[in-house]
């Protein structure tokens, strides 16, 4: 089965799988859960809430899609990782809701490296501005664990590879400048169904795979 062969490859690289379950009903998610999968990713808050209440409590839910500030409060009680931090105000709100829930919230900074205009994400200058904000040391309930990004949706694998390489370089730069000695800053969330092998070769620690695991009916 596809799931097992993906896992085997990921294990060789020491990378983890976020099974992207968006658009799939709880019954199908349950099948993958039965095989041992515990990390699932959703890109919409409403859908995440519905599935979280219908499925086992030991699932680690990751929010991988764009997050509006006014929706953080709904997922703050339980979400394991937010991959899509793309502004200072969102980071502040995530911290505020984490305080209310007495949790430390793991997050990733989302970067834009793809050619499509529509994709969300920071540029390196934006990230520097966030990380050098003097108020960041007050955000004690968020833990920045790394970065996330998407490559251009393209058959041009040289382009895709160069974008993953760019993400890796961004990670290394931030690690050196802002997170030396912080062992939790270690995740590079990149790679989807069409490009996950290239992402692994370029240093991904976490791939987000949907349609390969949940083939469209």
Question: Could you tell me the smallest distance in angstroms from the CB atom of residue 200 to ligand PLP?
Answer: 14
Question: Could you tell me the smallest distance in angstroms from the CB atom of residue 188 to ligand PLP?
Answer: 13
* Binds ligand PLP (CB under 6 A): choice among 69, 87, 133, 211: 211
Contacts of 123 (CB under 8 A, 6+ apart): 111, 112
Burial of 47 (0-12, 13-18, 19+ CB in 10 A): middle
| Sole window of 50-58, 85-93, 159-167, 205-213 interacting with ligand PLP (rule: CB under 6 A) | 205-213
The answer to whether 193 contacts ligand PLP (rule: CB under 6 A) is yes
63: left (phi over 0), alpha (psi -120 to 50) or beta: beta
Nearer to ligand PLP, 159 or 212 (CB): 212
Contact 116, 157 (CB under 8 A): no
The answer to whether 64 contacts ligand PLP (rule: CB under 6 A) is yes
The answer to whether 62 contacts ligand PLP (rule: CB under 6 A) is no
Burial of 211 (0-12, 13-18, 19+ CB in 10 A): middle
Nearer to ligand PLP, 128 or 212 (CB): 212
Site of interaction with ligand PLP (CB under 6 A):
20, 22, 43, 64-65, 192-194, 208-212
């Amino acid at each position: 089965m596809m799931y097992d062969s993906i896992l085997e490859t990921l294990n060789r690289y020491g990378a983890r799988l976020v099974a992207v379950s968006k658009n799939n009903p709880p019954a199908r998610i349950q099948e993958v859960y039965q095989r041992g999968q515990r990390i699932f990713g959703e890109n919409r808050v409403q859908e995440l809430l519905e599935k979280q209440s219908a499925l086992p409590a030991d699932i680690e839910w990751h929010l991988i899609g764009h997050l509006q500030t006014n929706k953080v409060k709904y997922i703050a009680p339980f979400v394991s990782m937010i991959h899509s931090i793309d502004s200072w105000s969102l980071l502040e709100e995530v911290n505020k809701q984490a305080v209310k829930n007495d949790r430390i919230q793991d997050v990733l900074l989302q970067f834009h490296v793809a050619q499509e205009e529509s994709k969300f994400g920071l540029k390196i200058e934006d990230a520097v501005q966030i990380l050098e904000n003097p108020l960041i040391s007050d955000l004690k309930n968020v833990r920045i664990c790394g970065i996330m990004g998407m490559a251009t949706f393209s058959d041009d694998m040289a382009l895709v590879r160069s974008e993953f390489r760019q993400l890796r370089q961004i990670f290394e730069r931030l690690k050196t400048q802002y997170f030396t000695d912080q062992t939790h800053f270690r995740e590079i969330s990149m790679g989807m169904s069409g490009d996950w092998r290239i992402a692994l070769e370029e240093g991904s620690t976490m791939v987000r795979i949907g349609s390969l695991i949940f083939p469209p009916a």
